[in-house]
Amino acid sequence: MIFSTNPWVWIAAILTLCIFSFLYKENAFYRFAEHLFVGVSAGYGVAIYWNNAIVPNLYVPVFHQHNYWFIIPGLIGMMFFFRFSAKTGWLILIPLAVLLGTGSGVYLAPTFQADVLKQMQSAIADATNLELGGWGLVWGLVAFVGVLTTLSYFFFSREQKGALKISANIGIWFIMIGFGASFGNTVMARVSLLIGRVQFLLTDWIHIIK
């Protein structure tokens, strides 16, 4: 076993082991790594916002391109700091209103188009596309039934009994299979990260795997 001579690899390996130590029980090493992680991530977030949001959208337009219109969003953004004043605290609602109004207006139509109309269009297209032929058409129809029954499960305007109950029950089967698939994918993503970390420890740190 030949250990790495790179001090950064040692830091990464020790911090990884500190986090993994939580599998035994909560301990001082884990708590240290956890707090370090929170601080580093928050600092990283600040730097990313500064470099990717403030510099290209405020600093460069105002100080390099002399486009003074861009001072306005800066001033509106600064209104968030009224949060610390008891008297003028309500002014924080102005930047919130700008963000909410713009967000609601900009995404209203595209969301309806992408999440409602396009989804329905694709579901119907798959169920009626004769070119798919044979099993393709059957699975298209099954998926269409799945969409309708899933929707019926979330239909609460009427008491779920009779045909609606049967439809809702079929819907819950589709939903459960969907959740199971999502769960399986999530677990495999986490396992993949675990393999990555173990590989790092065995390859880069103690050089067992070449």
Partner 1 sequence: MKRQIPLIIVLILGIFFFFQFFVPSRISTNILQTTLQWTIVISAFAIVLAIGSLFNHHMLKIRRRKPHWWNSIVTLAALVVMALLGIFGRVKGLEPLGELYRKLFHYVQSPMDQAMFAILAFYMASAAYRAFRARSQEAALLLISGFIVMLGVIPFGSMLWTKIPDIAEWIMMVPNMAAKRGILFGVGLGITATSLKIILGIERSWLGGGGK
Report 58-117 residues binding partner 1 (CB under 8 A): 58, 70, 72-74, 76-78, 80-81, 83, 90, 93-112, 114-116
Contacts of partner 1 in 150-179 (CB under 8 A): 150-151, 153-154, 171-179
Alpha carbon distance, N-terminus to C-terminus of the chain: 11
Q: Which residue has the tokens 């059957």?
A: 138
Q: Are 9 and 201 in contact (CB under 8 A)?
A: no
Span 22-51, contacts to partner 1 by CB under 8 A: 22-23, 28, 31-51
Residue located via tokens 């102005």: 94
Q: Which of 27, 85, 128, 182 binds partner 1 (CB under 8 A)?
A: 182
Compare residues 68 and 154 and give the one whose CB is closer to partner 1: 154
Neighbours of 190 (CB within 10 A): 10
Q: Does 133 bind partner 1 (CB under 8 A)?
A: no
